[in-house]
Structure 1
């Protein structure tokens, strides 16, 4: 079994609950287009974790703010 499989409990712990997850467990949408994961996060401070259930409860303005942040981060990341 690959470390980057939704069957891996370590990956499910954070990535499996994150709004930025993809159907493909090797990809993360914290940058667009999605990037391949370089590590499995051990805590939420090491990635852009936003719990899916929290995303659905947050105001639209906050969602827009986070989406704009992702857009800016993506532009910066892709310039490298």
Structure 2
């Protein structure tokens, strides 16, 4: 039997208004966290399940890139925000 992946407790992200630059940064940070989790889960599944997880990862990346493009967020700004969220 495959061991259950270790999960982390959810991070407490700041409360922000929807449709703002800050909410787009939160979306990007949440996508980064979800992609990390998907990579960990992907290690423990086979076949069609991996392909489905890959499809989910593509959708998440598109959502993050859309948020980044909409608010002209640079890669460095996004990485900095993610680091700040993780340090809380």
Measured against the shorter chain, the TM-score band is 0.3 to 0.5
More strand by share: 1
More helix by share: 2
Q: What TM-score, normalized by structure 2, do the two folds share?
A: 0.33
Larger C-alpha radius of gyration, 1 or 2? 2
Higher relative contact order (CA 8 A, sep 6+): 2
